Amino acid sequence: MTEFTTAEQALQAADVVVLGGGPAGLATARLLHQRGITPRVLERDAGPLARSQGGSLDLGEQGGQLALREMGLGARFDELARPLGQRLCLMDPDGTVRIDVDEAAGESRPEIDRVQLRQLLIDSLPPETITWGAEVVDVTPLAGDRHRVGLADGTHLDADLVIAADGIRSPARALVTAAQPAYSGITFIHGDLRDRRRGSFVERHTGEGILHAVGDNKAILAQRAADRSVRVYFAVRIAEDPTRVQGERFGDSAAVREQLRKTFAGWSADLLDVLDEIDGDFAYWPLYGMPAHQLWLPHSGLTLLGDAAHVMPPFGGEGVNMALPDAVELVHALFSPEHSTVDEAIAVFERRMLDRMADVVLAADAAGELLLSPAGTAPLLAHFAAAR
């Protein structure tokens, strides 16, 4: 049997499988590829454009941006990023504008569409790295700290190291922790403004960035995309609907419009006109989050990162700004000469990640309380005043 003296030596001889072709998984693959290892990435989507990737992401200087520069992708990000996406308009339910700023206080956080970020990472990898249409249904421990990854088509593959970056429903999580994502109490219903009624109230106040219309435990949120469309979210505190699944499209758009008009009764007609401007279907998006403090069980040959490890509500925009540094820190640990085994390197990474995660999760939860408050815009106004 070959004896390895460092984690890197063992990794060079290992079969490495990354679960998930989102930002965390692709970033991990890119960083490994830069160091001479090309893992196999398993992604359930049939291709990069098989479904909507959601709205825009704001990447912080010390979070997502720093990680992309570590991957040698900073210049391409700069070409795609939209600094004007930091613009914010905050208004009351009656349409009164309370804040209209081109740039929020603090670090630079330009926007990039999710689909653009994903494609940027895909383009940085050899085409054969990603296996599309590979839906992972289970991960089973084998002898010698290996794992068998089972796919929906009945096939499987075995790996020496499984890096699970496959999001909120990762089947690998149960091997690492009993903690599960919990419903936050907030649900988004979203749709898109594409070509109709340019210059309408919501489109105009969204501008190049975002609009937050905030009332009593409700909000209408809008965000500009690179293709000039606007994604509109109707956010409400409501019980989770067990009959629906995250991302599901509603079949009856007229019924959704009618229900949202009732839910937002009394709000400005200018704001509610956006319901008739939305093209296509509405989608259901309940928000979940992992606890800030998790207990992870002993494990070998496996780790979690990104949303698989610490999914959180999107308030504050820290999900991707945690996920990309996760990939950087994991690969740094794996290639550090200080660690004699892969499991030792992973354990160090996980301790640091869980430590770093706790305050960010608490901050995301707190941001949700600010945005959807019984006091409407007052808590947000006080927060912005304190930050300036």
Question: Both 12 and 63 in a single domain?
Answer: yes
Which of the four pLDDT bands, split at 50, 70 and 90, describes residue 387? confident
What whole-number distance in Å separates Cα of residue 25 and Cα of residue 23? Answer: 6
Q: Is residue 248 part of a domain?
A: yes
Structure tokens at 327: 């990939």
Domain that holds residue 196: 183-290+374-387
The verdict on 169 and 140 lying in the same domain is yes
65 and 41 both lie in a single domain: yes
Q: What is the CATH number of the domain that holds 366?
A: 3.50.50.60
Decide if 276 is inside a domain: yes
Contact 349, 355 (CB under 8 A): no
- Return the pLDDT at 84: 73
178 Cβ contact partners less than 8 Å away, ≥ 6 residues apart: 295, 297
In the numeric block, the tokens 């928000």 are attached to 287
Same domain, 60 and 122: yes
Give a yes or no: residue 174 inside a domain: yes
Q: Are residues 67 and 15 in the same domain?
A: yes
**Same domain for 203 and 141:** no
* Sign of the CA dihedral with 212 first, then 229, 256, and 282 last: negative
What pLDDT does 103 receive? 63
166 and 203 both lie in a single domain: no
Q: Is residue 96 part of a domain?
A: no
Task: Spell out the long-range contacts of 226-230 with Cβ–Cβ below 8 A and sequence spacing 24 or more.
Answer: 226/56, 226/80, 226/82, 226/112, 226/113, 226/116, 227/113, 229/192, 229/193, 229/194, 230/192, 230/193, 230/202, 230/203, 230/206
pLDDT at 156: 97
Q: Is the same domain home to 127 and 14? A: yes
**Chain centre to alpha carbon of residue 376:** 26
Mean pLDDT across the stretch 178-207? Answer: 89
Same domain, 47 and 134: yes
Per-residue confidence at 218, pLDDT binned at 50, 70, 90? very high
For residue 196, tell me if it sits in a domain.
yes
pLDDT over 70 at 101, yes or no: yes
Q: What single letter denotes the amino acid at residue 174? A: A
Checking if the pLDDT of 160 tops 90, the result is yes
182, 286 Cβ separation under 8 angstroms = no
Q: What burial letters (b/e) apply to 322-348, b meaning 16+ CB within 10 Å?
A: bbbbbbbbbbebbbeeebebbbbbbbb
Say whether pLDDT at 197 is over 60: no
Tell me what the mean pLDDT of segment 69-89 comes to.
91
Mean pLDDT of 86-105: 87
My answer on whether 261 and 209 are in the same domain is: yes
How does pLDDT run across 1-58, given as a tens digit for each residue? 356 778 989 899 899 999 999 999 999 999 999 999 999 999 999 988 877 666 788 8
Q: Alpha-carbon distance 370 to 97, whole Å?
A: 17
> pLDDT tens, 231-267?
999 999 999 999 998 889 998 999 999 999 999 999 9
- What is the pLDDT at residue 105? 52
Q: Are 321 and 306 in contact (CB under 8 A)?
A: no
Please tell me the predicted confidence (pLDDT) of residue 50: 73
Q: Is the pLDDT of residue 385 over 50?
A: yes
Here the CATH number for the domain that contains residue 192 is: 3.30.9.30
pLDDT of 364: 93
pLDDT in the model for residue 2: 59
Q: Are 253 and 162 in the same domain?
A: no
Q: Residue 97: inside a domain, yes or no?
A: no
Helical H segments across 96-224, by residue range: 114-123, 201-206
Residue 93 domain flag? no
Residue among 347, 307, 310 nearest 329 (CA) = 347
100-113: b or e for each residue (b if 16 or more CB lie within 10 Å)? eeeebeeeebbbbb
Q: How many domains does the chain have?
A: 2
Residue 240 burial (10 A CB sphere; 0-12, 13-18, 19+)? middle
pLDDT band at 136 (very low <50, low <70, confident <90, very high): very high
Percent of the chain residues topping a pLDDT of 70: 96
pLDDT of 83 over the 70 cut: yes
Instruction: Check residue 3 and give its pLDDT.
Output: 65
Condensed to tens digits (0 to 9), the pLDDT of residues 325-373 reads 999 999 999 999 999 999 999 999 999 999 999 999 999 999 999 999 9
Q: Give domain status of residue 133, yes or no.
A: yes
116 and 27 together in one domain:
yes
